[in-house]
Homo-oligomer: A and B are copies of this chain.
């Protein structure tokens, strides 16, 4: 099974609409980084998505480094900052789609948003 994981910072105080927009952004950008065959397998399985939370920027970037070193496609999302938060703030990380066991190993300690 394949899934996509989106990780959101919980220390920014974003409201649910802001969070949803950032997650959508991360989902789409990580999707664009993913090869066609993986995309298709993920879609055949129902395009599973899981949204998790991290404490802060440091934790998000540490996870990004592990994802990168595993050669899993990802996208770091920075907000345009027109509302709620400063321009350029990293808000979220989109990962995959990728095989579930490859991503679960990296994110097993994170909780659902």
A105 touches B (CB below 8 Å): no
Interface residues of A (CB under 8 A from B): 6, 8, 16-17, 19-21, 23-28, 31, 46-47, 49-51, 80, 112-113
How long is the Cα–Cα vector from A23 to B21 in the complex, in angstroms? 7
Interface of A is mostly: helix
Contacts of A25 in B (CB 8 A): 27, 47, 49
User: A20 touches which one: B8, B46, B80 (CB < 8 A)?
Assistant: B8
Tell me how many chains of this kind the complex includes.
2
User: A50 touches which one: B8, B21, B47, B113 (CB < 8 A)?
Assistant: B21
Contacts of A19 in B (CB 8 A): 16, 19-20
Within the complex, what minimum Cβ distance (angstroms) separates A9 from chain B?
Answer: 13
Nearest B residue (CB) for A23: B20
How long is the Cα–Cα vector from A50 to B21 in the complex, in angstroms? 7
11 extra A-B contacts, CB within 8 A, seeds A17-B113, A24-B28, A46-B80: A6-B20, A8-B20, A16-B16, A16-B19, A20-B24, A20-B113, A21-B51, A23-B24, A24-B26, A25-B47, A27-B28
